[in-house]
Amino acid sequence: MVRIRPERNEVVVGSREDLLTGSVELRDPVWWTEADDEFRVTAELRYHAARTPAAARRDGDAVHIVFDEPVQRPAPGQSVVLRVGDVIVGGGIAAGW
């Protein structure tokens, strides 16, 4: 499933490539450390998933994550954990891509 269009009562299906994204926006960010407005992280998009290198940019009540390589996008509402090395520095809820 690639997208749900409730206003049209549609579910859109597609190929695996259709699920790839180069970025994601996180809402309701939580931080456990002080950091610059832009910094390097590894993002954990799923439980037990490989960590994905990315750049993070704080933007008010949101965080924009740009991945080094395209990844399978997280579902809206899914938690994303951000790490620097092995230390969890923050995270948020996937809101869009």
Residue pLDDT, tens place only, 45-65: 988 888 999 999 988 889 999
Going from N- to C-terminal start, the domains of the chain cover: 20-96
* 50/2: higher pLDDT: 50
Instruction: Fill in the DSSP letter of residue 91.
Output: E
CB 39 within 8 A of CB 56: yes
- Which CATH class name applies to 20-96? mainly beta
Confidence of residue 40 (pLDDT cuts 50, 70, 90): very high
pLDDT, position 24: 95
Rounded CA gap, 2 and 33, in Å? Answer: 35
pLDDT, position 12: 87
